[in-house]
Amino acid sequence: MFRIIVPLHEAATVVVGPTKVLKSHDDTLDDTLELKILSLIQKNPRINQRELSDQLATSLSTIKRVMTGMIQANVLTRKGGKRYGHWEIEVKE
């Protein structure tokens, strides 16, 4: 049998569980959702946001928010219209 003793003053400073992230935080390409979106767009540039939402089991509003940030960061662009257009991934050199 093992016994672990943790002083109270140290335990009070430990964060347990996920921390709350503000809605206004900046998304980066390190986020796994963005990488998954890019992967799906690479496979099918004509994919729409509803299909991305279904395939990633994420709400449509989350997909729109993340993709808006990616467009503003010049990672994604939409070529053509809503119905017959496609997504292009901008390659940074």
Residue spans per domain, the chain: 25-89
Residues 53, 59 contacting (CB under 8 angstroms): yes
Burial per residue of 26-55, b for 16 or more beta-carbon CB atoms within 10 angstroms, e otherwise = eeeeeeebbeebbebbeeeeebebeebbee
- What are the structure tokens assigned to 37, written together? 């979106």
Measured distance CA(74)–CA(70) in Å, rounded: 6
- What are the structure tokens assigned to 60, written together? 């449509």
| Mean per-residue pLDDT, 27-41 | 78
Q: How confident is the model at residue 20 (pLDDT cuts 50, 70, 90)?
A: low
| Mean per-residue pLDDT, 9-24 | 51
Domain 25-89 listed as CATH 1.10.10.10: yes
What percent of the chain stands above pLDDT 90?
Answer: 43
pLDDT at 10 (0 to 100): 47
Residue 72 has pLDDT above 80, yes or no: yes
**Averaged confidence pLDDT in the chain:** 78
pTM beyond 0.85: the answer is no
